Amino acid sequence: MSYASYEEAIGREATSDGLVRYVVSALTRLQDGEAVDLDFVCRDDIGAFCTALGFAEHRNWATLTLDQISPEDESGARVVPEEEATAILAATKIMLSRGALRPSIEGAPAPHVLNDFLPVGTRYRGRRCLGHLWEWRFALAVELEHGRFHGTNVTNNHPMLTAMVVLAHLAEDPFYYPRLWVMETEGELFNAQLRGAPVEELRAIFGTLARAQEHRNDRLAEALENA
C-alpha cells in the first residue's frame, strides 16, 4: 500500500515495512530530481518509525543522546543494541531485495553489501552470509555522527537514514568499518598521548586498539580464505 504522506501512514498504523518503503521511496524520488517533502525526519515521526521497528517505547533515537543509543561495550567501541540493529538490518535487507535500495560503487551494483552481517549459515542472493552482526551494530553507531551530535545534523538520528549511510560506505569498501575502528582508535591514542593522559587511560586505549586490530585482521583473513 502506498501513502500520500508519512502522517497518513502513521494514522493507518502502517507496519514497519510500510514506513520503510515510504522513507526509501521519498529519498529515491529526491535522487531522481523530484521535489519531495521530507516529512519523516522530525522528532515525533522518527519516534513512530522506531516504534514500528519494535524499539522499546522510550527508544526514540531522535530524543536520545549518543551514549543512550550506542553505549560502549566490553570491546571499548560504541555499538547499537543488538535487537535494534537486527530490526534495522532486516528492514534494509527487505529494501535491497525489492530493489528499492541500489548501493553501487562507480556505477557497478553492490547487491551483497549485507552478506557479512546476515545470520551465519544462511545465503543471500546466492552467496553465504557470515553473521558479523556486531560489526553492523558498530557501523550504525559510527554513522550516528551524521545525526544530532556534532553540529552538522543530516539524519536527525533516523535509523533508516543512518543505515543508508552505512550502505554507502560498505559499497565503497566491505571492510570499511574494521579498518575505521583501527584508524579511529589510533587517532584517539595519539591525541591522548599529546595531552599527557594518565597511564590507566592509555592502557585502556591500547587494549581497544589491540582488539580493533585483531578484528580487522580476522576479517581480512576470512576474506582471503573464502576468495
CB 82 within 8 A of CB 71: no
CA distance to 116, 171, 180, 192, 221, per residue, from 127 (Å): 10, 16, 25, 42, 18
Sign, CA torsion 205/132/113/156: negative
**Is 90 exceeded by the pLDDT of residue 218?**
yes
13, pLDDT greater than 90: no
Predicted pLDDT of residue 116: 97
Q: Are 5 and 84 in contact (CB under 8 A)?
A: no
pLDDT value at position 183? 98
Report pLDDT for 121.
93
- Opening angle at CA 95, ends 175 and 128, nearest 5: 50
What is the pLDDT confidence band of residue 226, given thresholds at 50, 70 and 90?
confident
Rounded CA separation 113/168 (Å): 9
* Statement: residue 219 has pLDDT above 80: yes
pLDDT of residue 11: 83
168-180 pLDDT, tens digit per residue, is 999 999 999 999 9
Cβ distance 144 to 85 under 8 Å? no
What pLDDT, on the 0 to 100 scale, is given for residue 176? 98
Rg (CA), the chain: 19
pLDDT at position 220 over 80:
yes
The label of the residue with cell 526514540 reads 60
Q: What is the mean pLDDT of the chain?
A: 94
220 Cβ contact partners less than 8 Å away, ≥ 6 residues apart: 175, 178
Cα–Cα distance, 24 to 127 (Å, whole number): 25
The half-sphere exposure of 207 on its side-chain side, counting CA atoms within 13 A, is: 10
158 pLDDT more than 90: yes
Per-residue model confidence as pLDDT tens digits over 94-152: 999 999 899 988 888 999 999 999 999 999 999 999 999 999 999 999 999 999 998 88
Q: Which pLDDT belongs to residue 209?
A: 98
User: Strand (E) positions, the chain?
Assistant: 104-105, 108-109, 123-124, 127-128
User: Looking at residue 221, what is its pLDDT?
Assistant: 97
pLDDT at 10: 87
pTM over cut 0.85: yes
**Whole-angstrom Cα distance, residue 76 to residue 202?**
13
Q: What is the pLDDT of residues 31-80, one digit of tens each?
A: 889 998 999 999 999 999 999 999 999 999 999 999 999 999 999 999 99
